[in-house]
């Protein structure tokens, strides 16, 4: 399903610097910049409540925005980055990147595991390696989320990137064999299995067998002192 677009308005700004940004915020706006491969960095001012509404929406930062700019042509953009004040936590600045409907964009999409894995009944634990997955698609094809059914997974089984159910026109940007969700044994069980495996490292604190019958090194890592040499002088 095509992604719905959201409308926002912006005004051009000529003044720059901390003083200009402070005056802008005092007037209820925040500084912003829009740029792209074919768009030079364009200073703008936007209403923070409009941007917060987008960020808190269902699609969040993956929302495609139809931006109306006074005295300039409309822009098709997405939110690239944004910053909050470290103390007040108020939105301070936003960067927009221009997008084209016929050019692919790279975005991160929430990965949602549905169902109850069979391996959980067997005592396993569901391990979701990726909470979001990087994908590439056209701006109006960005999916809201990617759902994967984990019900068939038994203990020790996994779902890989190549097995994700992707909408038409969406490509995952991960190696085909990359594990995204798996059912694993509890940590205690895996530790015991590792200890019992051939060639496993000795338990912490266990002293290795003395090589060639020699005594182990003294505490602190220093070698034991050799026996005192016999006095070669005649009495």
For the chain, 235 residues long, give each residue's pLDDT as a single digit of tens.
456 689 999 998 876 667 777 888 888 899 999 999 999 999 999 999 999 999 999 999 999 999 999 877 899 999 999 999 899 999 999 999 999 999 999 999 999 999 999 999 999 999 999 999 999 999 999 999 999 999 999 999 999 999 999 999 999 999 999 999 999 999 765 555 555 545 544 444 444 444 444 444 444 444 444 444 444 444 4
Query: pLDDT by residue (tens digit) across 162-215?
Result: 999 999 999 999 999 999 999 999 976 555 555 554 554 444 444 444 444 444
Record the tokens describing residue 235, joined without a space.
Answer: 């009495």
pLDDT, residue 192, reads 53
Burial string for 23-46 (b: 16+ CB within 10 Å, else e) reads ebbeeebbbbbbebeeeeebbbbb
pLDDT, residue 232, reads 45
pLDDT, residue 202, reads 47
- Short-list 79, 80, 75, CA closest to 100: 75
Which residues is 35 bridged to in the sheet?
A: 97
Record the tokens describing residue 91, joined without a space.
Answer: 């939105």
Start-end of H helices in 75-220: 118-121, 187-196
- Short-list 182, 41, 46, 34, CA closest to 97: 34
Work out whether strand 5-12 and strand 146-149 pair parallel, antiparallel, or are unpaired. unpaired
Q: Could you tell me where in the chain the CATH 2.40.240.10 domains are found?
A: 5-98
Contacts of 92 (CB under 8 A, 6+ apart): 25, 30, 83, 84, 85
pTM above 0.75, yes or no: no
Contacts of 193 (CB under 8 A, 6+ apart): 185
Q: Could you tell me where in the chain the CATH 2.170.120.20 domains are found?
A: 105-189
Greatest Cα pair distance, the chain, in angstroms, is 111
Q: What would be the CATH architecture of the domain defined by 5-98? A: Beta Barrel (2.40)
pLDDT, residue 14, reads 78
pLDDT, residue 72, reads 79
Query: Residues 24, 28, 31, 33: is their CA dihedral positive or negative?
Result: negative
- How big is the chain, counted in residues? 235
Q: What would be the CATH architecture of the domain defined by 105-189? A: Beta Complex (2.170)
pLDDT, residue 217, reads 44
Torsion of CA 138, 139, 143, 146, to 10 degrees: 60
Give the Cα separation of 96 and 81 in Å (integer): 7
pLDDT, residue 24, reads 85
SS3 readout for 8-57: EEEEECCCCCHHHHHHHHHCCCEEEEEEECCEEEEEEEECHHHHHHHHCC
């Amino acid at each position: 399903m095509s992604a719905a677009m959201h409308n926002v308005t912006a005004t051009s700004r000529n003044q720059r610097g901390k003083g200009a940004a402070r005056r802008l915020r005092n007037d209820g706006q925040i500084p912003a910049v829009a740029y792209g491969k074919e768009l030079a960095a364009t200073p703008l001012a936007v209403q923070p409540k409009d941007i917060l509404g987008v960020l808190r929406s269902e699609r969040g930062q993956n929302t495609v925005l139809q931006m109306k700019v006074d005295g300039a042509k409309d822009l098709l953009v997405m939110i690239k980055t944004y910053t909050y004040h470290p103390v007040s936590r108020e939105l301070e600045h936003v960067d927009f990147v221009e997008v084209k409907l016929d050019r692919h964009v790279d975005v991160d999409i929430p990965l949602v595991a549905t169902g109850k894995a069979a391996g959980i009944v067997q005592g396993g634990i569901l391990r979701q390696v990726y909470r979001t997955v990087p994908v590439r698609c056209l701006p109006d094809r960005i999916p809201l989320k990617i759902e994967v059914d984990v019900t068939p997974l038994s203990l020790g089984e996994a779902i890989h990137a190549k097995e994700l159910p992707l909408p038409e026109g969406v490509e995952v940007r991960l190696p085909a064999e990359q594990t995204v969700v798996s059912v694993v044994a509890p940590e205690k069980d895996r530790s015991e299995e590792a200890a019992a495996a051939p060639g496993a490292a000795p338990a912490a604190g266990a002293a290795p067998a003395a090589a060639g019958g020699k005594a182990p090194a003294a505490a602190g890592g220093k070698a034991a002192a050799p026996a005192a040499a016999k006095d070669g002088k005649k009495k």
